[in-house]
Amino acid sequence: MKDVVGNTSTNKSQGHYTDLDGWTRGDLDHFVVPQNWDEYTDEEHQIWKDLYQRQIKILDGRAVSLFMDNLHSLGIEEDKIPNFDDVNKILMERTGWKVVAVPGPIPVEPFFELLANRLFPVGRFIRTREQFNYIQEPDVFHDLFGHVPILADPVFADYIEAYGKGGMKAADHKAAYLIGRLYWHTVEFGLIQEPEGLRIYGAGILSSPTESVFALESDSPHRVGFDVKRLLRSRFYIDDFQDTYYVIDDFEQLFKATDPDFLPYYDEVRKMPSILPGELIDGDKVIHEGTCEYAKEAAARRQKRKEES
């Protein structure tokens, strides 16, 4: 474990790592840093509290049923940014997972390896007031509030470990970008079918007040049944609502989907055209065919920015 040198505020985001910074496989501590919990300011704790209180109201009846119970049982409460050591005491007993602090987003290969070893990297910094409604890089609220409660489910926990192992193998075959699509459309932006209706389990939605409503209630996006090869082909936008959401029946479906050897999938998918955001294809199990109204407006905004740049 190391700390960031030359920065007087250790709990601020250090930005994206642009390379592996001397990392080699097996070095699990390379990007891990102390959380420095006692260095969080009163304002940072208040930002956590405000984010938490806003989101918890929105997620009532929208989040996967286990989310609320796991949130509280892990000690992820509203009054202050949780201490990772306290969360780990409970999480380790539940599923053998451990939260580790990182100063910012890390490269994909060490990310995969941490997951393969049941270590979940969490950005130790929290967004500022100016970033309150949207922050592109994942902070402690997105990572801890959005991801960690689902890791307390044994089946989902096994899925993430299997994903990490699959990611390392994908990296060896220059397919990290393909398996990255699987993570995006499930772990970050996945929906699940429960007896009461569609619910959210993806952390990118769980931590977003606007997308929590959009993903379930807007007529604009498509909602399509989960299919691994379809997801590996499916592109996405990182800075806007999703045009298509993928729906699983349960976490067991996800775990079983990681059992096969993905190498033949990669060879097959590389020979096929990518599926654009918002595109439906033959064979899709369409749960809801969207109007694409928002997607069209978003495309017009992107085109305008491109012309103005």
Q: What is the pLDDT of residues 120-166, one digit of tens each?
A: 999 999 999 999 888 888 999 999 999 999 999 999 999 999 999 99
Taking 60 as the threshold, does the pLDDT of residue 41 lie above it? yes
Q: Are residues 4 and 130 in the same domain?
A: yes
**Is pLDDT above 80 for 117?**
yes
The answer to whether 105 touches 17, Cβ cutoff 8 Å, is yes
Checking if the pLDDT of 5 tops 80, the result is no
Q: Are both 271 and 127 inside the same structural domain?
A: no
Confidence of residue 12 (pLDDT cuts 50, 70, 90): low
CA–CA separation, 243 and 215 (whole Å):
9
pLDDT of residue 165: 96
Three-class SS state of 136: coil
Band of pLDDT at residue 21, cut at 50, 70 and 90: confident
End of a domain among 152, 186, 214? 152
Residue 9: band (very low, low, confident or very high) from pLDDT cuts 50, 70, 90: very low
Work out the angle at residue 54's Cα, subtended by the Cα atoms of residues 48 and 69, and round it to the nearest 5 degrees: 85
Are 264 and 294 within one domain?
yes
> What is the rounded CA–CA span in Å between residue 236 and residue 183?
12
208 and 74 within one domain: no
Q: Is residue 165 part of a domain?
A: no
3-state secondary structure of 76: coil
Instruction: State the Cα–Cα distance between residues 138 and 123, nearest whole angstrom.
Output: 7
User: What average pLDDT does the segment 51-69 reach?
Assistant: 96
Alpha helices in 101-200 (DSSP H): 108-116, 140, 148-151, 154-172, 176-183
Q: Are residues 84 and 198 in the same domain?
A: no
What CATH number corresponds to the domain at position 190? 1.10.800.10
**Tokens, residue 167:** 């990611």
- Among 87, 121, 152, the domain-final residue is 152
pLDDT of residue 32: 95
Residue 170 DSSP symbol:
H
User: Could you list the residue range(s) of the whole structural domain that residue 51 is in?
Assistant: 1-152
Number of domains in the chain: 2
Q: How far apart are CA 249 and CA 272, in angstroms?
A: 26
CA 278, 282, 286, 289 torsion: positive or negative?
positive
229 with 265, same domain: the answer is yes
Please list the residues that pair with 286 across neighbouring strands: 224
Asked if 43 and 140 sit in the same domain, the reply is yes
Q: Assess if residue 169 is contained within a domain.
A: no
Residue 110 near residue 30, CB atoms below 8 Å: yes
**What value does the mean pLDDT of the chain take?**
92
| Residue 91 shares a structural domain with residue 196 | no
**What's the one-letter identity of residue 58?**
I
Question: For residue 159, is it within any domain?
Answer: no
Whether 226 and 170 have beta carbons less than 8 Å apart is answered as no
Residue 117 included in any domain: yes
pLDDT of amino acid 149: 98
pLDDT-derived band at 19 (thresholds 50, 70, 90) equals confident
Asked, for residue 256, whether it belongs to a domain, the answer is yes
The whole-angstrom separation of Cα 207 and Cα 133 is 10
**Are residues 89 and 193 located together in one domain of the fold?**
no
What is the pTM assigned to this prediction? 0.92
Residues 255 and 289 in one domain: yes
The residue from 121, 152, 183 where one domain ends is: 152
Residue 307 has pLDDT above 80, yes or no: yes
pLDDT digits (tens, 9 = 90+) for 215-269: 999 999 999 999 999 999 999 999 899 999 999 999 999 999 888 999 999 999 9
Region of poorest pLDDT, from 1-15, 30-44, 85-99, 228-242: 1-15
Domain assignment present for 164: no
Give mean pLDDT, residues 160-179: 96
Query: Could you tell me if 143 and 180 lie in one domain?
Result: no
pLDDT of 197 higher than 70: yes
- Is residue 160 domain-resident? no
Strand (E) positions, the chain?
98-102, 119-123, 191-194, 197-200, 222-225, 244-248, 286-288
Q: Are residues 262 and 297 in the same domain?
A: yes
Indicate whether 157 belongs to any domain. no
